[in-house]
Amino acid sequence: MSGAAPGNSLRATGYQPVEFLTLQELPERARMNLADTAWDYLAGAAETETTYLRNRMALDSLAFRPRVCRDVAKVDVTGSFLGRKLRLPVFLAPIGSLESFAAGGGVAAAQGAEAFGVDHMLSSVTQPDLETVAGNVKQATLFQLYVRGDDAFVDGYVARAVDAGFRAFAITVDTAHYSRRERDIIKRYLPAGRARGVNRTGHNWQMSFNWDNVKRFKDKHTIPLILKGIATAEDAATAVEHGVDCIYVSNHGGRQLDYGRGAIEVLPEVVAAVGGKAEIAIDGGFCRGTDIVKAMILGADAVGLGRMHGYALAAGGAAGVRRMLELLERECEIALGLLGVQRFADLDQSYLTAGTPAYPPGPFAAFPHLHWPRHNERRDR
């Protein structure tokens, strides 16, 4: 590929979505389009980035046990999440400062998800605001909040989300303290959301957010509640006791607590603790169709795509997001067919076992043929 013309969207670069024939081409193009600071914000993590690397390593340490001589002429990869049927059991995980990756920010991401047929979870620290995003899609889906104020602050956001048509409300619970993301610190870079002060002002409210606040939310509001950032069976069980509707297994993509476990390592104990009393979402290193299949085998209802949708957005705007989802859909179809099943519901844990990673640990281990553009190929920002 040659250098990209100015702009973060496919329309701006003059390329068409069909150009992206593999998933690895999305981070390649994103790297060409983004300045070093924005790239490191998207691709980086906390301190040593160990949790970030373990997310990918945990996925690479799982191997399939396929069955053969099954009728797989028709394969159905649809799913459902919190009452909505999805073309694929995935959603776009919340990312702050999406406007740094492509024109339109949250609007472009939501439009890409809607065009394909899955959910987008809008972060409260991205632009534009929730009303604008909702007004630019046929149906708003999921909203995620960082707590930056008292009960009235939370209630205000709930009212706004409900009025805008969002069907579920997520509160992030793994950011009581903001981590040291050293790639950003080294470059003296403040992401757009933090530069606006939205992720710093009032952070003491996030620090003090506790199970009493969760109880109050469930007592007062009827919109389904998602708790994002659950990393143990103990917290999953407590969340279920408080009536939480969805347990969202996440370590913030390795961007918060360093030296945590890979997200998919956590999933089995959370599934056991929840016991079917709530739906389960997960994110953390998921970037291939086979990754999604592994999570579904282990009991997830939906898989969040974080950095992967950031790469797609930076590579091609809304059209890039849609193309990413199309490629993941095809990979899931192939994986299910080769495992010998027609749908996700046919899978159980007999289809999965421990395996040895084939590549050294790294966030891009899933893309062994990835070619990083040379400096003079990257867009000059």
Residues designated catalytic = 252
Amino acid at 265: E
Contact status, residue 115 vs residue 88, Cβ threshold 8 Å? no
| Dist. CA 328–CA 316, nearest whole Å | 16
Integer angstrom CA distances of residue 1 from 177, 325, 337, 367, 380: 41, 22, 32, 17, 16
The encoded tokens of residue 331 equal 């990979």
Residue 94 class from Cβ within 10 Å (0-12 exposed, 13-18 middle, 19+ buried)? Answer: buried
For residue 194, report the phi and psi dihedrals to the nearest 5 degrees: -70, -35
Cα 349 off chain centre by = 24
Longest dimension (CA), the chain: 59
Helices (runs of H) and strands (runs of E) counted in the chain: 15, 12
Q: Is the torsion defined by CA of 111, 114, 115, 116 positive or negative?
A: positive
For residue 173, count CB atoms less than 10 angstroms from its CB and return exposed for 0-12, middle for 13-18, buried for 19 or more.
buried
β-bridge partners, 121: 142
For residues 145 and 229, give the distance between their C-alpha atoms in angstroms, rounded to a whole number.
Answer: 12
Query: What contacts 186, CB < 8 A, 6 or more positions away?
Result: none
Lookup: tokens for 92: 């776009």
Task: Yes or no: say if 9 and 102 are a contact pair by the CB < 8 Å rule.
Answer: yes
Residues in the chain: 381
